[in-house]
Amino acid sequence: MKSRAIVLLSGGLDSATSAAIALEEGYELIALSFRYGQRHSRELSASIDLVKALNISEHFILDVNLSLWGGSALTDDQIAIPTEGVDPSIIAITYVPGRNTVFISLALSLAEAKDAQAIFLGINAVDYSGYPDCRPEYLKAFEQLANLSSKVGLEGRAPRLIAPLLTLSKTDIVKKAIELGIPIEKTWSCYQGGSKPCGLCDSCRIRDKALIEAGYPQLASVYQ
């Protein structure tokens, strides 16, 4: 029988690549996405397209409205998305308080209910070094918590947290995505909504730079 895994699928490039890696490793996947009060639903429709493209049979989209208390440009319309360029020395205003912790907790709940052995995450410590919840020591602490928190943890079967992109550069992620046949045009990374990516937010800038460096400038937002 195939091992089962949960994949957190935002609709962006990284989580799609993480899903494709899990499939390549032979896991049967259940995708989990969130309507968390983000500014736009463009990335959620991307997640639905990717579930189809990757032939994932089960997909949960859960409402958990973090915009109820805001605190981030991604969940509070009153805070503008920065467009001036990436500043790696600060934690960006696009950081959503506790978001990864909330998402991974929900993935643990789903994993326990569905008896999944692993949770695949698209998080990456290189280009998002300013986000505290994208670091290896954070993931290690979460696995420790999972071992203590759950019925399956007590039985020594807590799901593993697997972040295959953790130490890859964005350029290497693009190469991996192409290699695994991810339809990059179906992924959505831009912090803004709309029909085309803005090309100016940090997420667009990091993605475009990587696409160009990896040899796929035609996929960058500036050409769309």
Q: At what angle do helices 170-179 and 202-213 cross, to 10 degrees?
A: 60
For the segment 32-91, give every residue that binds a copy of itself (CB under 8 A).
60, 62-66, 68-71, 91
As a whole number of angstroms, the distance between CA 95 and CA 66 comes to: 12
Q: Which stretch binds a copy of itself (CB under 8 A): 16-24, 45-53, 132-140, 210-218?
A: 132-140
Q: Which is nearer to a copy of itself, 60 or 216 (CB)?
A: 60
Strand locations in 17-103, DSSP E? 28-35, 58-63
Q: How far is the CB of 124 from a copy of itself (least distance, A)?
A: 16
Q: How far is the CB of 172 from a copy of itself (least distance, A)?
A: 25
Binding map of a copy of itself across residues 134-153, x = CB under 8 A, - = no contact: -x-xx--xx-xxx-xxxx-x
As a whole number of angstroms, the distance between CA 67 and CA 164 comes to: 29
Q: How far is the CB of 117 from a copy of itself (least distance, A)?
A: 14
Contacting a copy of itself (CB under 8 A), which of 97, 181, 183, 215? 97
Q: Which residues of 24-36 are buried (b: 16+ CB within 10 A; e: fewer)?
A: eeebebbbbbbeb
Mapping DSSP to helix (H, G, I), strand (E, B) and coil, where does residue 162 land? Answer: strand
Mapping DSSP to helix (H, G, I), strand (E, B) and coil, where does residue 166 land? Answer: coil
Q: Which stretch binds a copy of itself (CB under 8 A): 9-17, 79-87, 127-135, 172-180?
A: 127-135
| Residue 42 one-letter amino acid | R
Q: How far is the CB of 74 from a copy of itself (least distance, A)?
A: 12
As a whole number of angstroms, the distance between CA 170 and CA 186 comes to: 17
Q: Which stretch binds a copy of itself (CB under 8 A): 104-112, 167-175, 190-198, 209-217?
A: 104-112
As a whole number of angstroms, the distance between CA 143 and CA 179 comes to: 30
Site for a copy of itself contains 108 (CB under 8 A): yes
Instruction: Classify residue 1 as exposed, middle or buried by CB count within 10 Å of its CB (0-12, 13-18, 19+).
Output: exposed
For the segment 160-219, give every residue that binds a copy of itself (CB under 8 A).
none
Binding stretches for a copy of itself (CB under 8 A): 60, 62-66, 68-71, 91, 95-102, 104-106, 108-110, 112-114, 132-133, 135, 137-138, 141-142, 144-146, 148-151, 153-154
